[in-house]
Amino acid sequence: MNISIHRPTFVTHLECSMTEERYEADRLHGLSRAGRPLLVRYDLAAAGAAVARDAIEARPTDLWRWRELLPVRHTASIVSLGEIETPLIPIPHSAGGNVLVKDEGRLPTGSFKARGLVMAVAMARELGVTRIAMPTNGNAGAALAAYASRCGIETIVFCPEDTPEINVREIAMQGARVWRVNGLIDDCGAIVGRGAAEGRWFDFSTLKEPYRIEGKKTMGLELAAQLGWELPDAIFYPTGGGTGLIGMWKAFDELEALGWIGPKRPRMYAVQASGCAPIVRAFEAGEEHAERWEDAHTVAAGIRVPRAVGDFLILRAVRQSGGKALGVGDPAILKAVDDCARRDGLLLCPEGGATLAAYREALRTGEVDAEERVVLFNCATGLKYPMPAAPNTLDRHAPIDFDAL
């Protein structure tokens, strides 16, 4: 007889992020009746009574150390590939002595998408989902394929036809059926939505299920612990769907409710590419929602998201924090990637390069001060992306001009 082991979790209910309408926990949900993301709510007083901050600090520094603040109820539901706490790397030569990069490329499948998808897949497993479909610009599909394959959930992934080749092959190699679509990620999402409406699969699009946010919020929990429970002055976050920015903002509120941090918050900077900047446009116009960005294009494929279902949550966090939405051009992104690799030895992905480019511009305009402690998020390993050619060769049989080397 299989005995299901219950883990200490303190979920009370789910809540519509727009209307605050309550939804029952432990049931399968997509968007709320208002068509908005659902947020997981916890009995934080009970969680705080059950575990002390010191006890968290004493645990192994993986994602699951935060289990009292995560939604998975049954140990058997957990699916893991070794989700470590990612390091904070100084980049003094390309950004200055007070700037740290949280290098999410160290996670399974090489990106921060592992955080959200490990939680979403674990909850799908717990709630009996057997087939999942999702649109992706690359890294989310790879993480979904890996975790779903590991626990036997069938997966279909749709990606724009110009998704980096390595991502498409990675998704296929890890067991998903992957289809290239002649459109952008929201066009892929429309196909997923149609299939879900016909009952063919469960829709795992960004923020269309409640649990990816809970995985991504661990970035904020980790950051607080790594910095001695004192949050940085500013966070620069590459923003497409914005799940991580929304999740971190939620994490900070939960930590304060537990009494583990004070009221200080970092200014949140939502970084987009100027070739696809719907959040920037809405922020500058004072709007609560962002219109679809037409003809989206950028070298940073991961933030090429023309429309985000959680747009108002991103904008709300940015404004409440005193931050901004910032757009940077592809030349500045590529220069930042090159500078950080050559001068600090850290190979950023283009989306991570966007945060460094945005920080440099914010420093130039006085938006941030060089003395402030700043964290940039590098969301994936730079090894997944095209690099400039290195064509030099040497004939070992010919005379060697060592001075020329």
In tens digits, what is the pLDDT along the chain, a chain of 405 residues? Answer: 333 445 567 999 999 999 999 999 999 999 999 999 999 999 999 999 999 999 999 999 999 999 999 999 999 999 999 999 999 999 999 999 999 999 999 999 999 999 999 999 999 999 999 999 999 999 999 999 999 999 999 999 999 999 989 999 999 999 999 999 999 999 999 999 999 999 999 999 988 999 999 999 999 999 999 999 999 999 999 999 999 999 999 999 999 999 999 999 999 999 999 999 999 999 999 999 999 999 999 999 899 999 999 999 999 999 999 999 999 999 999 999 999 999 999 999 999 999 999 999 999 999 999 999 999 999 999 999 989 999 999 999 999 999 999
Residue 229: phi and psi, rounded to 5, are: 65, 25
Instruction: Write out the DSSP string of 35-92.
Output: S--EEEEE-HHHHHHH--HHHHHHS-SBGGGGGGGS---BGGG---S--BPPPEEE-T
Q: Is the CATH code 2.40.30.10 the one for domain 113-203?
A: no
Virtual CA dihedral for 333, 336, 338, 342, nearest 10 degrees? -170
pTM, full prediction: 0.94
Q: State residue 8's pLDDT score.
A: 61
DSSP helix/strand/coil, 100: strand
Pick from 217, 128, 126, 117: which is nearest to 171 by CA? 117
Residues 6+ positions from 88 with CB-CB distance below 8 Å: 100, 101, 102, 103, 223, 226, 227, 375
Instruction: Write out the DSSP string of 230-293.
Output: ---SEEEEE-SS-HHHHHHHHHHHHHHHHTSS-S--PEEEEEEETTB-HHHHHHHHT-SS-PPP
Domain spans of the chain, in order of start: 11-75, 88-111+211-383, 113-203
Helix axes 243-258, 218-226, angle to 10 degrees: 60
Q: Beta partners for 343?
A: none
DSSP helix/strand/coil, 364: helix
Q: How far apart are the first and last CA of the chain?
A: 69
Give the helix/strand (H/E) hosting 225. Answer: helix 218-226
And the tokens for 275? 């070739």
Longest Cα pair distance anywhere in the chain, in angstroms?
Answer: 77
CA–CA gap between residue 8 and residue 74 (Å, rounded): 9
**Any idea which residue has 């009952």 for tokens?**
199
User: 343 vs 70, 94, 373, 376, 386, CA distance in Å?
Assistant: 39, 6, 20, 17, 19
CA–CA gap between residue 189 and residue 281 (Å, rounded): 22
Pick from 187, 260, 191, 189: which is nearest to 223 by CA? 260
DSSP helix/strand/coil, 23: strand
Question: For domain 88-111+211-383, which CATH number applies: 3.40.1360.10, 3.40.50.1100, 3.20.20.60, 2.60.120.10?
Answer: 3.40.50.1100
CA–CA gap between residue 8 and residue 114 (Å, rounded): 23
Determine the residue type at 275: G
